[in-house]
Amino acid sequence: MQPVITDPAGAALEGIDLSKLAQLAQKIDLPALLNAASGMNEGQLRQLSTLLAGGGKRPRELPAPHGDFYDLMGTLSQHQRDVAARVRQFMETEVAPIMNEYWSRDEFPQQLIPKMRELNLMREIWNDDGTRTPDASVTEGVIIMEMCRVDVSTAVFFGVHAGLALASVALGGSEAQKAELMPKLLNLELVGAFGLTEPEGGSQVSRGLHTTAMRDGDAWVLNGEKKWIGNSTFSDLTVIWARDVADDQVKGFLVRKGTPGFKVEKIQGKIALRLVENGHITLTDCRVQEIDRLQNANSFRTTADVLRLTRAGVAWQGVGCAMGAYELALKYAQTRVQFGKKIGEFQLIQNHLVHMLGNLTAMQTLCLRLSVMEDAGTMKDEHAALAKVVTAARCRETVALARETFGGNGILLEYGVAKHFCDTEAIYSYEGTNEINTLVVGRAVSGLSAFV
Ligand SMILES: Cc1cc2nc3c(=O)[nH]c(=O)nc-3n(C[C@H](O)[C@H](O)[C@H](O)COP(=O)(O)OP(=O)(O)OC[C@H]3O[C@@H](n4cnc5c(N)ncnc54)[C@H](O)[C@@H]3O)c2cc1C
């Protein structure tokens, strides 16, 4: 309460909050200050009052970095927003604290698997019978974006399992195979991998696989090699695509963990996606029962259908990776001080930030539209290919600008941006390289094939 001034001398203090003055007197020697002030000229008094007011500048609260400038989230359903929030929390509380350690160890943190099971994300995309939920592509895209914002490797683990492996069973499996495997894959009781690429067959894989399958009674005998196969060092079920020597068609086989003749070596020394365990698989007279051949995958057409389903997801990886890098760079620009100023006050740094934001926003709107088309059944190969080309390139530019914003700290793992920078190199090359996806789009728009 304001003290009441009763004596005439005190009238001079009228309007002054004496209780605040009393609080101030506990912190500083008020009589000494008043004494000094009484001898000051007008200019000195003005300086003193500016000083007491906090140097004339109150610390301004800067906007929190937010990589959703055009309110993408606002266009989603409440349910999709809730899913995105669940993923964000999971990434920030479970993955972020351990990711750098596992990055350095070049290992996947398998303790995340039961936690991901609890998140139950697969059922946001797939139904038990192998069909997709009505808004599967948009939901999957947002899940992937939120994962990649923190760590692309986690999204790759998820994408290989929930996209490539699970989709192979969903599109290529018989009703009996789906009934057995879909619930287990959806619950992450079984972890899946997808073995298509070979040491000699990357981009040209559709033109012929070297891995062979030969029928032998009730079984098939597989021989060959597969390279780069994500999750395969610990997967329970690896889909192996092999050429049937009898009819020359590509068929899918479910190779279960521990099958004799199935050997996996972890690929060492990657500079990107170091939490993902990529295996080099050798198949030596590996016997797979006929009941474990994907019954509805009788040509490369099914393999291509699976890849088409997942390509949009890879475009979303670029979005999330760029989003994470942009937010980190903005935060750094708001706090790092050089030449007595926050580096975000420099025009050249603002140019980086706006360039990154422009890329990111364009990528988000492109991918959202792509996924809407995919959910509506109107997306064609060339639509997905264009999104992959554009997002991978824009992501590469964005993470480079983000890394640059950090100066030397940009190459240190602990500052976060270096991981995004490296991971982008893998995004750029898998699920169809930039060149191959460009050729797909070029052929579609010109009607002329430039493939050789
Ligand atoms: C981290 C990572 C994870 C992966 N995970 C999996 C997985 O889980 N399962 C799986 O099966 N595969 C996986 N892959 C493989 C991936 O799909 C291939 O790396 C990709 O298809 C490219 O093949 P390649 O690496 O053999 O390159 P290549 O095909 O040898 O290409 C080399 C270069 O030549 C260019 N090129 C090739 N052909 C043409 C042409 N006709 N015209 C113009 N340019 C051309 C390419 O664009 C590229 O720049 C993964 C790869 C990586 C890096």
The residue ranking higher by pLDDT, 53 or 205, is 205
77-298 maps to which CATH number?
2.40.110.10
Q: Is 90 exceeded by the pLDDT of residue 422?
A: yes
Task: Give dist(CA 147, CA 150) in Å, integer.
Answer: 6
Residue 249 and residue 221 in contact, taking contact as beta carbons nearer than 8 Å? no
**Choice from 240, 308, 433 to test ligand 1 binding pocket (greatest atom count within 8 A of CB):** 433
| pLDDT bucket at 2, cuts 50 / 70 / 90 | very low
Predicted TM-score (pTM) of the model is 0.88
How many angstroms does the Cα of residue 397 sit away from the middle of ligand 1?
Answer: 20
Cross-strand partners of 279: 229, 266
**For the chain, percent of residues with pLDDT exceeding 90:** 84
| pLDDT bucket at 134, cuts 50 / 70 / 90 | very high
Q: Kind of pairing, strands 212-216 and 262-266?
A: unpaired
Query: Average per-residue pLDDT in the chain?
Result: 92
How many angstroms does the Cα of residue 155 sit away from the middle of ligand 1?
Answer: 19
Topology adopted by domain 303-446: Butyryl-CoA Dehydrogenase, subunit A; domain 3 (1.20.140)
Amino acid (1-letter code) at residue 119:
L
Neighbouring CB atoms inside 10 A of 167's CB total: 25
63 DSSP 8-state letter: P
Q: What is the location of CATH 2.40.110.10 in the chain? A: 77-298
pLDDT average, residue stretch 148-162: 97
CA dist 386 → 149, 389, 393, 421 (Å): 22, 5, 11, 22
pLDDT average, residue stretch 109-138: 96
Count the residues in the chain.
Answer: 452
Amino acid 3: pLDDT: 43
Amino acid 130: pLDDT: 94
Amino acid (1-letter code) at residue 31:
P
Amino acid 208: pLDDT: 79
Ligand 1 atom at minimal distance to the Cα of residue 204: 29
Amino acid (1-letter code) at residue 345:
E
How many angstroms does the Cα of residue 265 sit away from the middle of ligand 1?
Answer: 19
- Residues with Cβ within 6 A of ligand 1? 160, 194-197, 202-203, 228-230, 273, 278, 426, 429-430, 433, 435-436, 451-452
Q: What is the location of CATH 1.20.140.10 in the chain? A: 303-446
Ligand 1 atom at minimal distance to the Cα of residue 203: 29
Nearest CA to ligand 1 atom 32: 203
Question: Which residues lie below 8 Å from residue 349, measured CB to CB, with a gap of 6+?
Answer: 333, 343, 405
pLDDT average, residue stretch 235-245: 98
Instruction: Kindly report the backbone phi and psi dihedral angles of residue 244, in degrees, each rounded to the nearest multiple of 5, phi listed first.
Output: -70, 120
How many angstroms does the Cα of residue 433 sit away from the middle of ligand 1?
Answer: 6
